[in-house]
Amino acid sequence: MGFLDKVKDATGIGLTADEQYRRAYEKGVFLQPPDYSAASKHFSTAAEKFRKDGNVAWADRAEANALMYRLVETRDFALLPALQKSLERVGEIERPASQEETIATLALIDELRALQSERRGETAVDLAAKATEYRNAAVLVTRLGTMPLTFADRLGLKGPTDKALARGAYYNALADYHSALDTIASSPQKAQDSFHRAAVGFRHAQQPDLVDMVEAQIEDISTKRHCWTCGREMQGRNHHFRYYSAAIAPYHRDVVDARKEDAGMLDRGDSVTLCAVCGSAIERQADAYASRRASEVQAWAQDLFASQSAEIAALRSRVSSLESRT
């Protein structure tokens, strides 16, 4: 290697577009540990040189690589739309961390679109909107079939990050879960069905913690109890009925058994079940009473303090008068 070649290798000055492109791998991707930030910069420089040379195809490819490695390095999801748009101009591209193996960009684009739907689902406030976005993500990633995912693991995402079908099951489970939450108020039975589908999906996606969480919610939403106050049967523990602390004696259970009523109303020690309507009415009345009593006590305390302040002021005046005479 001549002197000028050594200078070019050390500084990068005078490199051709092709050499700059290769340098992104040599001085970035293939380092141990990899320096994806440096790789991204080299790809950006290569893109500029290709564009100056009039080589639009390779300029677009280098630009896409620059964005891809920047995304992997920074995990900045704001880059997703720009990377998708860049990949749409390229037919194929090197698989991340490889210089020889290429991949069709259509697969990467579908994965990126799924990630964007996932992000919209995460940030959406409306539960139905969340479910819709997760369902869209499932459709997009399921198109990849048995292909491995490219970005999920590198971006540190939750859930399965290796196989597209497993992630599709995960997205569908998230959609069913949020659909269940959205329908609890109107139909606990429909919510129960959605929770069941979510549990199946999370099981296929090998997410045991989420399976346990959903099954606990199934137990709650499927449970039915009668209200001690109004006598109506309600479905959905901690949603449409709750347990309230009460003084329970064995006699009360005997009365319920004798009348062949719902023994579940008293199945928790010193608590009784009330439907959400009766329970909230009692709570609101108790809150109103507590607020009224608090206002009365505050008024009484203010009068008392005012009276004591007046007495203290009078005493201070008398002390000052006595001190002035001495």
pLDDT band at residue 287 under the 50/70/90 scheme: confident
Question: Is residue 118 a part of any domain in this protein?
Answer: no
Contact between 222 and 273 (Cβ < 8 Å): no
Same domain for 240 and 194: no
Sorting pLDDT into bands at 50, 70 and 90, what band is 1?
Answer: low
Q: Tell me how many domains the chain contains.
A: 3
The per-residue pLDDT for range 236-267, each reduced to its tens digit, is 999 999 999 999 999 999 999 999 999 999 99
Rounded-to-integer distance, Cα 52 and Cα 315, Å: 93
For residues 290 and 245, membership in a common domain is answered with: yes
Per the domain annotation, does 74 fall within a domain? yes
234 and 200 share one domain: no
Query: Which pLDDT score is estimated for 311?
Result: 79
Residue 7 in this model has a pLDDT that exceeds 60: no
Indicate if the alpha-carbon torsion angle 101, 103, 109, 111 is positive or negative: negative
pLDDT tens by residue, 81-106: 999 999 999 999 999 999 999 999 99
- Residues 115-162: tens digit of each pLDDT: 999 999 999 999 999 999 999 999 999 999 999 999 999 999 999 999
Full residue range of the structural domain in which residue 185 is found: 126-220
Q: Check whether residue 207 and residue 276 sit in a common domain.
A: no
Region of 319 on the Ramachandran plot (φ > 0 left; ψ -120 to 50 alpha; else beta)? alpha
Whether 310 shows a pLDDT value over 80: the answer reads: no
As a whole number of angstroms, the distance between CA 236 and CA 190 comes to 11
pLDDT in tens, 292-302: 888 888 888 78
Residue 218's pLDDT is what? 98
pLDDT level of residue 11 (50, 70, 90 thresholds): low
Number of residues in the chain: 326
Reported pTM: 0.83
Are 209 and 234 in a shared domain?
no
Pair (238, 319) in one structural domain = yes
168 and 262 together in one domain: no
Q: In terms of domains, do 203 and 229 share one?
A: no
Cα separation, 256 vs 263, whole angstroms = 6
Cβ-contact 141, 114 below 8 angstroms: yes
Final residue before a domain boundary, out of 62, 84, 100? 100
